[in-house]
Amino acid sequence: MTTDQAESTATATIPEQRTPERSGMSLLATLRWCGTSRQRLWLRGLLVAVALYLALRVGTLLVLDVYAHADPDHPTLRTLLTNWDAVWYGGIAEHGYDEAIPLDSDGDPELTNLAFFPLYPALVAAAKFLLPIHITTALLLVAWACGLTAAAALYGIGAHLRDPRTGVLLAALWAVLPHGVVESMGYSEPLFTTLAAGALLAVLRRNWLTAGVLCVLAGLTRPTAAALVLAVGLAALVQVCREPARWRAWCAMLLAPVGLLGYLAWVGVRLGRADGYFYVQNVAWNMKFDGGGYTRQSVTNTLLGKESVEFAEVTVVLLVATLLFIVAVGERLPWPLLVYAGACLAIVLTGDGFYWAKARHLMPAFPLLLPVAYAMVRSRNRTIPYVVIGGMAVFCAFWSVYLNLTWTHSF
The answer to whether residue 92 is domain-embedded is yes
Q: What pLDDT score does 33 carry?
A: 47
Comparing 216 with 27, which gets the higher pLDDT?
216
- Please check the confidence at residue 2 and state whether its pLDDT lies above 70: no
Other CB atoms within 10 Å distance of the CB of residue 178: 22
In this prediction, residue 35 carries a pLDDT of 61
Q: How many domains does the chain have?
A: 1
Please choose, from the candidates 253, 257, 248, the residue with its C-alpha nearest in 3D space to the C-alpha of residue 229: 257
Residues pairing with 109 in the sheet: 103
Whether residue 3 is contained in a domain is answered as no
| Sign of the alpha-carbon dihedral angle for 343, 346, 350, 356 | positive
Of 169, 171, 220, the residue nearest 191 (C-alpha): 220
Segment 171-214, tens digit of pLDDT: 999 999 999 999 999 999 999 999 999 999 999 999 999 999 99
Domain extent, residue 215, equals: 42-405
Q: What is the pLDDT of residue 190?
A: 98
73, pLDDT greater than 90: no
User: Picking from 28-37, 88-97, 124-133, 222-231, which range would have the lowest pLDDT averaged per residue?
Assistant: 28-37
Residue 23 in any domain: the answer is no
The C-alpha atoms of residue 69 and residue 191 are separated, in whole angstroms, by: 29
The mean of the pLDDT values for the chain is: 91
Q: What sign has the CA pseudo-torsion 400, 191, 93, 109?
A: positive
Decide if 193 is inside a domain.
yes
Report pLDDT for 373.
98
Q: Does 12 reside within a domain? A: no
The H or E element containing residue 288 is strand 288-289
Alpha-carbon separation of residue 301 from 196, 274, 312, 358 (angstroms): 34, 36, 10, 16
The answer to the question of residue 71 being in a domain is yes
Q: Which helix (H) or strand (E) holds 352?
A: strand 351-352
| Each residue's pLDDT tens digit, 248-267 | 999 999 999 999 999 999 99
pLDDT digits (tens, 9 = 90+) for 110-152: 999 999 999 999 999 999 999 999 999 999 999 999 999 999 9
Residues 203/336, Cβ–Cβ less than 8 Å: yes
In a domain, 287, yes or no: yes
pLDDT higher than 80, residue 74: no
- Within 208-275, residue ranges assigned H as helices are 208-219, 225-242, 247-255, 258-271
Stated as kind and residue range, the H or E segment containing 21 is: helix 20-23
pTM score, whole prediction: 0.91
- Within a domain: residue 14? no
Cα–Cα distance, 198 to 163 (Å, whole number): 17
Confidence of residue 303 (pLDDT cuts 50, 70, 90): confident
Question: How high is the pLDDT of residue 26?
Answer: 56
> First CA to last CA across the chain, in angstroms?
78
State the average pLDDT over residues 206-235: 98
